[in-house]
Chain A
Amino acid sequence: MAWESGVQFMIKKEVVVIGGGPSGMAAAIEAAKRGAEVLVIDANEKAGGQLFKQIHKFFGSSEHGAGVRGIDIGRDLLKEAEELGVEVWLNSVAIGLFAEKQIAVETGTDDAEKIVRVVEGEKIVIACGASENVVRFQGWTLPGIMGAGAAQTMINANRVLPGKKILMVGSGNVGLIVSYQLMQAGADVVALVEAAPNIGGYVVHASKIARAGVPIYTRHTVLEARGEGRVKEAVICEVDGKWQPVPGTEKVIEVDAIAIAAGLKPLAELAIMNGCKTKFDPILGGWAPLHDENMESSCSGIYVVGDVTGVEEANTALEEGRLAGVAIAAALGKITAEEAETEKKKIWDRLDGLRSGPHGEARMKAKDRQLADFRQLSAAEI
């Protein structure tokens, strides 16, 4: 292996998975199970992605681990991957994805010297997940104001409270679940504001925090955060049908933290950098790479799975990862095309099941549109 000015290259692997969340780990496991040599790269000091913050019991059918907590699903995935001999590089960020399927990976913590390695993957899976959206208002950069995901990471992973009197902004499932978890950790959620006329997430989650006495203000937004060196007050107000503040409805609430849960957007940068075709779909959280039934993007040999291809949930992320893993095993000649088809059909049936019901239908349609757009794209190219 050659070293040139701190860069080590060229390492070759059959399969390189970028991101060790549920989707990436599932892809790695399915490919490794069928004999592929797999490397997983993850930015964190521990793989598992979002799962290690999810201490609540998941929804879904029993075959999708309903009633099982995210942290337990994560633990099982890591164990299975380890047993299968999947190699995992932690504290490792994919900082670039280049032609010829080369990935630049930076490894190390900020307080030490880092190394950069270039890894070539015959097949690459992009499974980076999503990042949080922000809402900007007067004073939004004051310390004490953070993403809801940041607040969740503090209490559930770092076991420290980011504040004691917290205003939650946004009532999707993230806003509702993190509110409840903040209370479980011993904080007060002083109010939850939602600009839309209705709660965005599941009613069960909303009822839980309403029962605990959290005032939920729909048709409200946060106008301003005040304080010196730390947020001390939040000004909230009503919004009209056009989401504009209604003068005279302002209320001042004493807080020491504000958590913003304004949705997530796919972390599609690596796919975009590589030239994978993307499309904007608000249901899926924004710009997301298109893919076929195997989760392969418009760049041959590059697969996209999980929240990267549209923000959904852990169960769909797992199934998408499995699809890619099986498809990759077939593409590498580890299993026959027929074996792959049978397996993929089962996975698609489960995915269709997950994308049904009042909350799943819109996502099902959006994912169908994504597949249709991909087909159109390939037809145009032929």
Chain B
Amino acid sequence: MCLRVEDHVVLGKDEPGKTVEITVDGRKLAAKEGEKILAALLANGIIVNRYTVKRKEPRGLFCGIGQCTDCAMIVNGKPNVRTCITPVKEGMVIETQHGLGKRGAIHD
């Protein structure tokens, strides 16, 4: 299932751009340099970004513009990174965030 909008009636063809490799929960994925982390994950069929602190419920894209924090993940070891507004860089290590994302403290 292709989720990328490669060709568009109004916007035309998407610019090819440079492909980079990122690691998501230990899995290597291809992403486009500079695209939002969340977009790269969506394109790869990943829609859960984090689990809530108390009820451990899954959360994913909600506002898409950095206002709600539902898309927060751990990026290169740094928790609470809003993936909908943070661009992908070569070699990024991205992890699903559990609770507040302080390793060991909230994780069980």
Contacts and interface: CB of A to CB of B under 8 A. Distances in A.
A371 interface: no
Contacts of B5: 155, 159-161, 185-186
A61 B57 CA distance: 49
A141 B59 contact: yes
A254 interface: no
Interface residues of B, number: 42
B47 interface: yes
Contacts of B76: 111
B41 to A, nearest CB: 9
B61 A111 contact: no
What's the interface size class on A, roughly? 35 or more
A146 B64 contact: yes
A149 B65 contact: yes
Given A149-B65, A229-B58, A111 B78 contact: yes
B86 interface: yes
Contact of A158 (B39, B48, B81, B82): B39
A286 interface: no
B16 to A, nearest CB: 12
A160 B62 contact: no
B69 to A, nearest CB: 10
Nearest to B47: A143
Contacts of B4: 159-161
Interface string A132-152: 100000000111111101110
A184 B8 contact: yes
Nearest to B37: A111
B65 A230 contact: no
Given A153-B64, A154-B39, A184-B9, A143 B48 contact: yes
Given A110-B86, A146-B64, 6 more contacts: A69-B10, A111-B81, A147-B64, A154-B64, A185-B5, A230-B48
